Structure 1
Amino acid sequence: MKKYIILSWILVLQLSCSSQNDQNEGEIIEVRNFGKFIETDQFDILPFFDKSTYILLDVPEELELYQADKILAGDGLYFIMDAELGNGIFIFEETGNFVAEIPIGGNGPGEIPDLEDLTYNFDTKTLLVLGAYGRKLFEFSTIGEFIRDISLPENRFFNYIAYAGNDLIYLHTLPSPSYAQMKDERMVTALQLSSMEIIAEHLPVPVGLKYNITGEKPLTFQTGKVVFARAFGNRIHIFQKKGNLEKEILLQALAPTNNLYEKETLNQFMDLLADKNELAFADNYLETENLDFLLLVKSGSLTRWGVWDKKNGKFNLANTLFDSNINMPLLPHLEIDDRKVMKLFNDEFFEIYLNEVGHEDYLRKIEEMVPGFRDKTRKFILCIYEN
């Protein structure tokens, strides 16, 4: 099972951008400088999206869906991966009707022994599931029918996947402590799907990196491009559909902690971060038409969202993102798939509102936006925000 590091982050900044050539690598580096910020408890994202949609999912009582570790959209369907609790992939129509489940477990034909990640091939309209401990792809139709499995290059173990279009996939690997010290190992690999030919490899493992640590959403497909944003370091990498690194975004005010200062333990690293009083990390990076989102940490304090408001040229430091339509905080992470930003509210989230007094106004607001919410035995709401 993948290891995650979910740390608490803070941000102070106003973004200003400039570009220059990196003479060492040849790619374009976009420098973002941090300055003044507006601090707020909640940041309402609705004014910055043209459309918000709320889907009440028809989740059968016996279905072992509990949370969303990843959400994808395509062909009029939504694909929800629950890798930690439900251990499966669940398919729903845009109306919320349940379509199919792809269960995880087993080593027989068409079975996936374990689940690492998945991506949607929008060219062939199929799902590509990364499993078998990161060594195979399993291809399924959009109604959950098994098509084939594909072996990945030998001696490679991958943790995350994103389809870029034109038969190209990007894969990310988390090196083990010993693997990290091997010569010239790379963190991101571009593969031709039809031939499994390695087109390019990017980003050497930082010298001195000792841990299997990455972000909550390190490899994503956003606005037609693949984005790699690991939860340590101060750079975000944007890749083209041809396998090339298009540009790096340098978050200049973040501490360059790519190798966690080569500390022997994570506690030592966090202690040093606190001593330095530094801004570090950039997890769950989402870039939309009007907003950019980041999760950041400063000295081990509470989670903060950094939100770059492109319309008004301001940076907001918020305790949480907020949806004023349903009067709900958007915690702790958001999903992005191309141009859709998504959030799944599950049964557990609504328990406090349903089982304790004093929340009638909240429930009434939800019922206005999502008719039938109270009548559902299992209450799952999928929120989609688009420009």
Structure 2
Amino acid sequence: MRTTAAVLRDVVHERPYQDSRPVTVEELELGAPREGELLVRVAAASLCHSDLSVVNGDRVRPLPMALGHEAVGVVEETGPGVHRVAPGDHVVLVYVPSCGFCARCAEGRPALCDRAAAANGSGGLLHGPSLLTDAAGRTVHHQLGVSAFSSHTVVAQESVVPIPDDVPFTVASMFGCAVLTGAGAVINTAALRPGQSVVVHGLGGVGLSAVLGARAAGAYPIVAVDPVAEKRALALRLGATHAYAPGEALIATRDLTGGGAELAVEAVGSPAVMGACLQSVARGGRVVSVGLPAPDRVLDVPALAFAGEGKSLLGSYMGDAVPRRDIPRFLDLWRAGLMPVEEMHTGTVALSGINEAMEELASGRAIRQVVDTSGLLISV
């Protein structure tokens, strides 16, 4: 069948992106689901900074690539052996299709699945190579096994989590990456306890989701840090107790917490911010890094911070989430009013406006824009 998709053919550094137009909207041929795969009509796909990192080359991926990894859709067809979902089911798409059998999956860390990492790195799917070809018959790679900026996509059954039909598409679209990564970093990686203090650096979708996770976990105080005043104001509405610009954050955090926070979350992808986070935590404090820096960036911090001060620096990929466990429970927190992710929705765009949306994200103005990929969004 044919699908309309947003395709990146070459890395582009030139901005503004509405002028350089790195992403083209193309008609692609999409193969039928193989064993263990399913066809999904994508209803809403959120634009994440990880997508932008592929466009500007910070995340090296095989090109050309059909972009998009954070989305929700409706199952239209299932291949042989698919038993988790059926046509008509609403599903959140997950960008790590954990196999369930490798060493990482066996130890309860499916976000680090070895087979998924290999499939995602190759631009294929968990059960086989890419199913996308362009008008010239050339292979187009999948982004993280999802390629959600498309009217339709084929994914592994391990890449979906069924959700109730009454969850709005614009809400559900954020649970496959932003919420899993940000809230998961606080709740899963850091195992935050009620009453512990938290500082979150970087208030994009992932950082604000970390604020939501800290609020749901009962943290106090929750300090939000970002250079953009509007993002700091939003963080306060979402549950942060204090918000500061970066230049004010260190002294303010130490004053609020009596010497330093117990947990800092780095959601920028900057070695300098990682260093600032290590400075902002108390002796014995933990830093969880969820931002994705360019591969050539190097972290330079005082080595004494670890053995001498007992501090920890933890990496967190996809919030150390178990999607089939965490997406339903995070949705329950949304229903309870504890994770109002709809507050992060800063606009809805058509697929044809993908380059303009990329520029909004790169400029720092947008948090989570939702792409209406196939006309299923009735209202915004």
Determine which structure has the larger strand proportion and give its number. Answer: 1
TM over 0.5, shorter chain: no
Q: With structure 1 as the length reference, what TM-score do the two structures score?
A: 0.27
